[in-house]
Amino acid sequence: MTSSDIQDAAETAVTDYILAQETKDQLRFLTCGSVDDGKSTLIGRLLYDTKLIFEDQLAALERDSKKHGTVGEEIDLALLVDGLEAEREQGITIDVAYRFFATDKRKFIVADTPGHEQYTRNMATGASTADLAVLLVDARNGLMVQTRRHAFIASLLGIRHVVLAVNKIDLVGFSEERFDEIRKEFETFANGFDFETLQAIPMSARYGDNVTGKSGKMPWYAGPTLLEHLETVEVGEHVLEAPFRFPVQWVNRPNLDFRGYSGTIASGRVAVGEELVVAGPAKQSRVKTIVGAGGEVEAARAGEAVTITLEDEIDISRGDLLSSTANRPDVADQFAAHVIWMSDEPLLPGRPYLLKIGTRTVTATVSEIKHKINVNTFEHMAGKTLELNEIAFCNFALSSSVPFDPYEANHTTGSFILIDRMSNATVGAGMIWFALRRASNIHWQALDVDKTARSEKLGQKPAVLWFTGLSGSGKSTIASIVEKKLHIDGRHTYTLDGDNVRHGLNKDLGFTDADRVENIRRVGEVAKLFTDAGLITLVSFISPFKSERRLARSLMAEDEFIEVFVDTPIEECRNRDPKGLYAKADRGEIKNFTGIDSPYEAPENPEIHVKNVDRDPEDVAEEIINYLKGKGFLNGVETGNGS
């Protein structure tokens, strides 16, 4: 054989190997369970035994084992995964670590998730993309609270394949009786979780028993090793058999002659010539071409990134969902969903968040927390808010309709995240259960006499003057003087005062953060109606949260909302204390008092900023009147005596 033949053979072998790797099936799984049950050690063992550790990594691991290891003179395989310095110092996993490895039969992506209760949100993050969960149990301790919690979350997130890895079996003398005891207890516990497969395996991750090779120390166990099970378990076929779903990520227009829709197929299959529909508008067309990574193809399947062109010109944009015409998704602006809360700041019903589902983002609020779920006992509990790592079943109201499927039918189109509108941080993850149908005969009634006609008749431009500030800042006093001046000038006004509204409209609300949010939501809606009536509405509320003031602003037309920040230091408010509220709060007689044990978030860019120390309220009111005049709110026929 010539050198040329040898080179050709080598190139062919490399090409064949690359093609084989590209066509391999892939399994995403996570390890979870209680603290110190051996999750990181198990992944380290899989990486070590599958020969995926380079010599320099092994040398570094040996050095780190001497410094951070917990297994004496041996190599601590957990350190392959516990990459954060804080994790190594504490001996725990506090983040989700992802690792890749492969065998001749399959490729794997494994997520090592934290065991501590306070990091439940991290476990949920790892579970959200997994096909299978390896739930570790220390054979000495049996099922722990966190074991049950993680099993429940895995079930809630739609994982249907579970391995019960009874680890550290060497520390109980490789006892078959202890293994059977734990297995039976877990099978009874998980009976209602709808797991399709549940494989219990006795193992020692530290020594490799039943991890990648059969253990000679447990002849009573005839089942597969962990790696054998991971290589052969059938997962993912339901995604291919599900109806076609294609969230449009990008409208591809390289030139005037090409208009394609790019994204990753969420489920199902599609072929050239098939009829598709845009969910929502229900516009239909046929697939003209499908462009993959290597050029045009006749068909594509779930998981592939493609560009689809259609035979007809249809208005499609990012966020739209293409689906099969025979089996279409739900389209609604209200639905019920399970939510896992991931923020230190509590979820408050009525507070607006950004909801991202697929490639579409809309504004959404939790209209009602139906119940919270105790993840230790699974009982349903009442609750007005949702704290970090808590899970609840909630009703959602969205600013516009979105297409979706129930989460159990399609994880991609049935899941969403919630984003804080101010920090842009992800604060929650949700799984949609079903649509809430709004009565189809309820519409906003178009009236012949509208806001423009009313305001012209009144000779003024409608507006909302939103006075915000601490209790005792002087906002109600200033608002009252402003209204008097406007009344003398012949203007049509109404004042919504915090105390007065709580005697009627909001008398059912307290002063918790959740009640404060609902208080401002209702007042904002009333102010919107008064604005529609053509009035100049003065709202005098502490309204401590930026998010709710932003919500009130969003209800009004552009330039109608005027935020007036009456900026008075809390020391000055204490000195004034006209109702004696600060004194009561200091004595603990009033809970959730703004500025004492409940926060006040000061406006950053108010239209009018009043520093109200040693100022005559009459002068402040005149400043506000002049602002209204300068902005054209008081144009029209002067009917009074002037201000």
The residue with tokens 């060497």 is 170
Q: What pLDDT does residue 231 have?
A: 93
Q: Pull the structure tokens for residue 81.
A: 């995964």
Write the pLDDT tens digit of every residue in 422-441. 888 889 999 999 998 654 44
What do you get for the CA distance between the two ends of the chain, in Å? 105
CA atoms lying within 13 Å on the CB side of residue 217: 17
481-497: average pLDDT: 92
Q: What is the mean pLDDT of residues 315-337?
A: 91
Compute how many other C-beta atoms are within 10 angstroms of the C-beta atom of residue 553: 16
pTM: 0.69
pLDDT at position 481 is 95
pLDDT confidence bin for 76, thresholds 50/70/90: low
Q: How far apart are CA 266 and CA 511, in angstroms?
A: 44
Q: Which of 24-33, 294-303, 526-535 comes out lowest in average pLDDT?
A: 24-33
Share of the chain above pLDDT 90, in %: 42
* pLDDT given for residue 88 in this prediction: 41
Distances 233 to 29, 196, 224, 266, 276 between C-alpha atoms, Å:
11, 11, 11, 22, 33
pLDDT over 90 at 366, yes or no: yes
- Residue 622 CB-half CA count within 13 A: 7
Query: Residue 61: what residue type?
Result: L
What domains, with CATH codes, occur in the chain? 14-235 (3.40.50.300), 239-324 (2.40.30.10), 330-435 (2.40.30.10), 451-630 (3.40.50.300)
What mean pLDDT do residues 120-141 have? Answer: 86
User: Alpha-carbon torsion 307, 310, 315, 320, what sign?
Assistant: negative
Distances (CA, A) of 514 to 346, 354, 507, 575, 638: 9, 18, 14, 29, 44
- The label of the residue with tokens 């309220």 reads 617
Helix and strand numbers (H, E) in the chain are 17, 28
Average pLDDT over every residue of 591-604: 86
Reported residue count of the chain is: 643
CA distance 157 to 132: 11
Strand partners, 611: 567
Residue 80 has pLDDT above 70, yes or no: no
Specify burial of residue 396 (Cβ count, 10 A radius: 0-12, 13-18, 19+): buried
pLDDT-based confidence at 10, cuts 50/70/90? Answer: low
Amino acid identity of 57?
Q
| Buried/exposed code over 85-106 (b: 16+ C-beta within 10 A; e: otherwise) | eebbeeebbbbbbebebebeeb
580-589 average pLDDT score? 85
- Work out the widest C-alpha separation in the chain, in whole angstroms: 110
Alpha-carbon distances, residue 244 vs 73, 239, 317, 582 (angstroms): 55, 9, 18, 61
Question: Is the pLDDT assigned to residue 102 strictly greater than 80?
Answer: yes
DSSP-derived 3-state class of residue 353:
strand
Residue 119's pLDDT band, with cuts at 50, 70 and 90, is low
Contacts for 511 with CB less than 8 Å, ≥ 6 apart? 591, 592, 593, 598
**Cα-based angle 635, 639, 643 (whole degrees, multiple of 5):** 75
> Average pLDDT, whole number, for the chain?
84
Residue in the block written with tokens 């979105």 = 402
pLDDT of residue 531: 92
pLDDT tops 60 at residue 302: yes
**Around 600, how many Cα atoms within 13 Å sit in the side-chain half-sphere?**
20
Alpha carbon distance 357, 411 (integer Å): 11
Does the structure show a pLDDT above 80 at 11?
no
Above 50 in pLDDT, residue 614? yes
Q: Is it the case that residue 510 has pLDDT exceeding 90?
A: no
Q: What is the pLDDT of residues 45-61, one digit of tens each?
A: 887 777 655 455 555 55
pLDDT at 120 over 60: yes
CA 512 vs. chain centroid, Å, equals 24
Alpha-carbon dihedral angle through residues 549, 550, 556, 558, given to the nearest 10 degrees: 130
Q: Is the Cα torsion angle 583, 586, 589, 595 positive or negative in sign? A: positive
User: How far is it, in rounded angstroms, from Cα 573 to Cα 92?
Assistant: 48
pLDDT score recorded for residue 23: 59
CB-facing half-sphere around the CA of 59: CA atoms within 13 A: 3
Question: What is residue 437's DSSP assignment?
Answer: P
User: In this model, does residue 20 exceed pLDDT 60?
Assistant: no
Name which residue leads in pLDDT, 376 or 168.
Answer: 168
pLDDT given at position 627: 93
> In which element (H, E) is residue 403 found?
strand 391-404
Q: What share of the chain is helix, strand, coil (3-state, %, to 5)?
A: 30, 30, 40
Query: Is 6 a residue whose pLDDT tops 80?
Result: no
Q: Percent of the chain beyond pLDDT 70?
A: 85
- For 332-353, the pLDDT digits (tens) are 999 999 999 988 899 999 889 9
What's the pLDDT band for 506 if we cut at 50, 70, 90?
confident
- For the stretch 208-252, pLDDT in tens is 899 989 999 999 999 999 999 999 998 866 777 889 999 999 999
Say if CB 194 and CB 68 are below 8 A apart: no
Contact 330, 402 (CB under 8 A): no
Active site residues: 543
Strands in 498-589 per DSSP E: 536-540, 561-567
Give 618's pLDDT tier (boundaries 50, 70, 90). Answer: very high
Helix (H) or strand (E) holding 75: none
> Considering Cα of 580, then 586, then 590, then 596, what sign does the dihedral take?
positive
What is the predicted pLDDT for the residue at 71?
A: 57
Q: Please say if the pLDDT value at position 84 is more than 50.
A: no
CB contact set of 227 (below 8 Å; sequence gap of 6+):
46, 49, 50, 103, 211, 212
Q: How far, in Å, are 353, 355, 549 from residue 361 at the CA level?
A: 10, 6, 21
Q: Distances in Å between the alpha carbon of 479 and those of 385, 488, 494, 495, 610?
A: 33, 14, 10, 8, 12
- The answer to whether residue 459 scores a pLDDT higher than 90 is no
Please report the pLDDT score of residue 514 as a whole number: 81
Distance of CA 160 to the CA centre of its chain: 22
Tell me how far apart the alpha carbons of residues 371 and 386 are, in angstroms, rounded to a whole number: 10
